[in-house]
Amino acid sequence: MFYDYPPYRPPSEANSLLLRVTRGCPWNQCTFCSMYKDMPFQRRPVEEVLQDIDTARHLYGTHVRTVFLGDSNSLVLHAHSLIRILRYLYRNLSSIERVTSYARARTLCKKSLDDLRLIHEGGLTRLHVGLETGDAELLGEIRKGATPGQMVEGCRRAKRAGFEVSLYVIAGIGGEEKWQQHVEGTAAVLNQINPHFIRIRTLSLNPSSPLWRSMEQGTFKLASPETILQEQRQLIERLEVTSQYMSDHVSNYAPVYGELPGDRASMLQTIDDTLEMLQKNTRYRRAIEMKRYLSRL
């Protein structure tokens, strides 16, 4: 049986059925990203997607609890197409409890609130949105294609429509020189959105990403492990949210998890303990520093 698997998914969707409704990324210009660079963007025909659902039903039956829709921004589909897919999915896999997808803030700004509500009512429950940083200058430099204001507007609209919102922040995206403005801008945006989840990813560059070339040319300097951890510490101190903060990725330097504001003190203590280990343990430092060169995540 033919089945078109999405090549990427969030770590939190490791046990999910992966259902591909688009191929590639409609934006595909972010300088830190190496995903989809050689893949032209396509909206898959709905009938193809429905055939994949039939295949999934044959293979997995009632074992499917969660589903992730790929590739990078399923919300670019027309609302009626996405709703048709969702209804067919729930009708044929009756054990589903959650369906999630990546989404861009700009797309959420463009979709009508009525369409977003209909998509949520159709069964799409959680959106994974790449904030990366809340600083306007850095958003421009990494060619994210959205302003801080658009990030806030898009995510607030998603929440009003009923979605759970999971926002991604890249630790180290400001490098060694602009980490402070990264912290300040990111905290300001997160405080305005108050997402359900804040997920941290530490910058790890792939040679096929434009930012790698900037690093090789000396115009971008990777942040040190100490800077990365101090950056996270200051971010957590500035957050005024009721969000789950998660470091659920292999790239991260410290296992910082908690629910804000209640777990703030223990989260800061975890960072302080990691900073102390960096100073005292040479082998630990080497292991941490090697994470800066992960190219397959």
Over 50: is that where the pLDDT of 211 sits?
Answer: yes
Query: Up-side HSE of residue 175: CA atoms within 13 Å toward CB?
Result: 17
269-283 tens-digit pLDDT: 999 999 999 999 999
Instruction: Find the mean pLDDT for residues 109-133.
Output: 98
Give 36's contacts (C-beta < 8 A, 6+ positions apart): 24, 25, 28, 71, 72
* 266, pLDDT greater than 90: yes
DSSP 193-238: H--SEEEEEE----TTSHHHHHHHHTSS-PPPHHHHHHHHHHHHHH
DSSP characters over 104-134: -HHHHHHS-HHHHHHHHHHT--EEEEEEE--
The DSSP 8-state label assigned to residue 167 in this structure reads E
Check whether 2 has a pLDDT greater than 90. no
Q: Which residue has the higher pLDDT, 41 or 295?
A: 41
- Assigned domain for 189 exists: yes
Q: Note the pLDDT of residue 163.
A: 98
| pLDDT exceeds 60 at position 3 | yes
CATH number at residue 91: 3.20.20.70
pLDDT tens track for 77-100: 999 999 999 999 999 999 999 999
Whether 3 is covered by a domain: the verdict is no
In a domain, 5, yes or no: no
Show Cβ contacts of residue 204 under 8 Å, excluding neighbours closer than 6 positions: 251, 291, 292, 293, 294, 295, 297
pLDDT the model gives residue 208: 84
Q: Region 218-244: what's the mean pLDDT?
A: 96
Rounded to whole angstroms, how far apart are CA atoms 171 and 201? 6
Q: How confident is the model at residue 1 (pLDDT cuts 50, 70, 90)?
A: low
Structure-derived torsion over alpha carbons of residues 24, 104, 207, 170, reported in degrees to the nearest 10: -150
Average pLDDT over residues 196-219: 92
Rounded Cα–Cα distance for residues 166 and 23 (Å)? 22
> Do the Cβ atoms of 206 and 295 come closer than 8 Å?
yes
CA angle 129, 197, 153 (to 5 degrees): 50
Quickly state the pLDDT bin for 297 (edges 50, 70, 90): very low
Give me the amino acid identity at 150: Q
Question: Residue 91's domain spans which residues?
Answer: 11-293
* Mean pLDDT estimate for the chain: 94
* In-domain check, residue 4: no
Q: How many angstroms from the chain centroid is the CA of residue 293?
A: 20
In-domain check, residue 1: no
pLDDT band at 294 (very low <50, low <70, confident <90, very high): low
User: Is residue 245 in some structural domain?
Assistant: yes
Give 162-194 pLDDT, tens digit per residue.
999 999 999 999 999 999 999 999 999 999 999
Name the pTM for this structure.
0.94
**What are the start-end ranges of the H helices in 134-199?**
136-141, 148-160, 179-193
CA dist., res. 205 & res. 21, Å (int): 27
Number of domains in the chain: 1
Give the per-residue pLDDT at 124.
Answer: 98
User: Is residue 73 situated within a structural domain?
Assistant: yes
